Amino acid sequence: MKIILKIWRQKNRQDKGEFCDYVLEDVTRDMSFLEMLDMLNNKLVKQGDRAVEFDHDCREGICGQCGVMINGIAHGSLKNTTTCQLHMREFKDGDTIYVEPFKASAFPVVRDLKVDRSSLDHIIVSGGYVSVDTGQAPEANNIPVTYEEAESAFDAAACIGCGACVASCKNSSAALFTGAKITHLARLPQGEKETASRTMAMVDQMEQENFGHCSNTEACQVECPENISVLTIARMNYEYNRAKILFKK
């Protein structure tokens, strides 16, 4: 099928950037979206043009590397999916597709569709871990964790840090990402002990990275590839308030 692409091209962080039009004639329905971009890049390289740069890694929907705005929606029109799991069967012959990078002040464009998401890494570095050396894997039954707690922690831990929550939020908030990381560790006995200090550090870092506030529109959960619950944001708010009121260093 024939696809008309309007792709955001930007040479570097300082460049203003603009949309460039490309036409692909031999796109098949079974191609993934990224394979379609590969096809475009092959064509561009053969012509001697610069390839369109975009992030990708596993192409199995689990690494969180790929992520672009497709027709104004993070990861495209399929809900709870990564860009790599979006296939061309979702489009019709002759469709025009707008492809843009995730846009937020905290995600500066590096080049074309690639953005710098290290602001999310900074939030993790500020406290998204258990600070004691846990050594080798212990006997599983030594630390009792109920099935419900394990499932709940894993639901939050499923966040792949792709940044779609930020891109989908009208305030460019990273509350879902931060809330998921805080909830994941707060639900488990190994992480629970440091919840107060961790929450304060991660929320403060989120502020420093220039993310916006959460206004509970719930758009982040709808577009999140892992369908992370917005209640993790409420959990973050609860833990933060509790820490500020009760926690003493």
Partner 1 sequence: MIWFIKNSVTRKNLMALTGLFLSFFLIVHLAGNLQLLLPEVQAKLQYNAYSQFLGGNPLVILISFVLYACIILHTVDAIYLGIKRKKANGVSCSKDKRGRASTWYSRHMMALGIIVFVFLVIHFKDYWYRYKFGELPLDENGNKDLYTLVIVSFEQLWYVILYVIAIVALGYHLLHGVFSAHRSIGLYHPVYNSIIKVLGIIFALVITIGYIIIPIFIYINHQT
55-74 residues in contact with partner 1 (CB under 8 A) are 69, 71-74
Residue 36 CA: distances (Å) to CA of 89, 119, 132, 233? 11, 29, 45, 36
CB of residue 101 to partner 1, shortest distance in Å: 9
215 near partner 1, judged by CB under 8 A: yes
Stretch binding partner 1 (CB under 8 A), from 20-28, 99-107, 124-132, 138-146: 99-107
Give dist(CA 218, CA 224) in Å, integer: 10
> In the set 86, 159, 203, 228, which binds partner 1 (CB under 8 A)?
203
CB of residue 110 to partner 1, shortest distance in Å: 14
222 near partner 1, judged by CB under 8 A: yes
103 near partner 1, judged by CB under 8 A: yes
107-166 residues in contact with partner 1 (CB under 8 A) are none
CB of residue 142 to partner 1, shortest distance in Å: 29
Q: Which is nearer to partner 1, 59 or 122 (CB)?
A: 122
Strand ranges, E, within the chain? 3-9, 18-24, 69-70, 73-74, 96-100, 109-111, 114-115
234 near partner 1, judged by CB under 8 A: yes
156-185 residues in contact with partner 1 (CB under 8 A) are 167-173
Cα dihedral value 169, 7, 59, 167, nearest 10:
-10
CB of residue 207 to partner 1, shortest distance in Å: 6
**Any long-range contacts for 97-100 (C-beta under 8 Å, 24+ apart)?**
97/3, 97/4, 97/5, 97/6, 97/70, 97/71, 98/6, 98/19, 98/69, 98/70, 98/71, 98/72, 99/5, 99/6, 99/7, 99/8, 99/37, 99/68, 99/69, 99/70, 100/8, 100/68, 100/69, 100/72
Residues that bind partner 1 (CB under 8 A): 8, 19, 69, 71-74, 98, 100, 103-106, 167-173, 203-204, 207, 210-220, 222-223, 230-242, 244
